[in-house]
Amino acid sequence: MIGGSAGSMPVLVELLNQLPSPFFIPVVIILHRLKNVESELNRLLSVQQTIVEPEDKEALLPGNIYLAPQNYHLLIEDDSTFSLDYSEPVNYSRPAIDLSFSSAVSVFGPAVLGVLLSGANKDGAAGLCRIVAAGGTGIVQDPLTAGFSMMPQAAIDLCSGVQPMPVNDIIHYLRQISTANKS
């Protein structure tokens, strides 16, 4: 699970372009974006692998990269399918990173890895804490390297178990877990 907001786009593109292909773990991206403006985010996220916006009840599959659809909360159900939710914004956001992170940990528990990138609000901090509390891994972009430090710093302040890392270390970590999950 990767969440981000203001300032996260260049980092996200770099992370995705550095993933080994194929990457055997499903990647779910939750980005804040304007809700009433036609989105070209799929085109802007020009990376080596295909990124899809999941449909409601679509199965979460290894090796795929998913992007939360514009103006919907993206949840993961107990049967490992996606659910698109149009309830009220959380932390002024829909999709809300907190909701996606929390739904993933409800289904996958300690197997969840959450990465929180640059952003200008506190969305994602509580969800990342739930991941860490369940035994999963919580990583935040080092606030000193973030375009907007509020989001990663909020997670650090809220939850002692998160690991701040510069972008290159996040890339290295993702490459390591990819190699470990190949076999």
Segments in the chain forming alpha helices (H): 9-18, 41-44, 97-108, 125-133, 150-158, 167-182
Catalytic residue among 8, 32, 118, 142: 32
pLDDT at residue number 23: 81
pLDDT at residue number 11: 93
Q: How far is CA 107 from CA 77, 97, 133, 135, in A?
A: 7, 16, 14, 13
pLDDT at residue number 45: 59
**87 noted as active-site residue:** no
Catalytic residue among 98, 100, 102, 123: 123
pLDDT at residue number 181: 67
Residues in the chain where the model's pLDDT stays below 50: none
**79 noted as active-site residue:** no
> Which value, in Å, is the radius of gyration of the alpha carbons in the chain?
15
Kindly list the structural domains of the chain, giving each domain's residue range(s) and its CATH number in brackets, ordered by start. Answer: 2-178 (3.40.50.180)
pLDDT at residue number 94: 94
pLDDT at residue number 51: 84
pLDDT at residue number 178: 80
